[in-house]
Structure 1
Amino acid sequence: MYLLSTCDVLVTSGFSTFGYVAQGLAGRRPWVMPRPSPWEEWAEGQAPAEPPCRRAPSVEPSFHSPSYYDCAARRDVELDKVAPYIRRCVDVSWGIQLVNESSTRW
């Protein structure tokens, strides 16, 4: 993981713990290769996602199993709708990621 973090450019596959840790250590915004969800079967010759790689919106790693339950409201909430600094992950539609939109240097 440390060796990955020393790379100039980081391409991370979806659901990659090694890639997320390396991204966090390096403080770099990685390129992410999305992959089908674990319950979707991949078939030989299947076309890759379009585009094949997307730039992550933040240097922060994705959190793939957030709790959507709001104790005060006693119901589920869409976290990316109630907090301006939370966005959906590039590789996992149900995951979240911290994003600093005011920063232009990333």
Structure 2
Amino acid sequence: MIISDRKKGNIKILELIGRIDNDTNEEFEKELSYLVHNEERILVDCSKLNYINSRGLRTFLEVLKKVSKSKGKFFICSLKPEIQEIFRISGFLNLFDVYNTQESAIEGFQ
């Protein structure tokens, strides 16, 4: 998995490329943990995410809880249909603010 990040205004945008699985989840977890302590507004763009397992889903949930406690915002955008289905089946789709595009998610922060 490759994680690229950039800042747009006061929003930190993470782009995930590849897979979140047992081999890559630790890197994903470290990156998000760092951001939770240093950023109030986090957007994860999943347009290039091809796979996520239960550990990756759990990492998303843990980050959401931490960001919510600190009164920050954590949005997800651009889920591919197969990834969106994983979020839906697991019941996670209703827990997160999920946007169809990066642009609409950025507007959602306003």
| Fold conserved between structures, TM > 0.5 | no
Which has the larger Rg?
1
TM-score under structure 1 normalisation? 0.29
Which of the two has greater helix per residue? 2
TM-score under structure 2 normalisation? 0.28
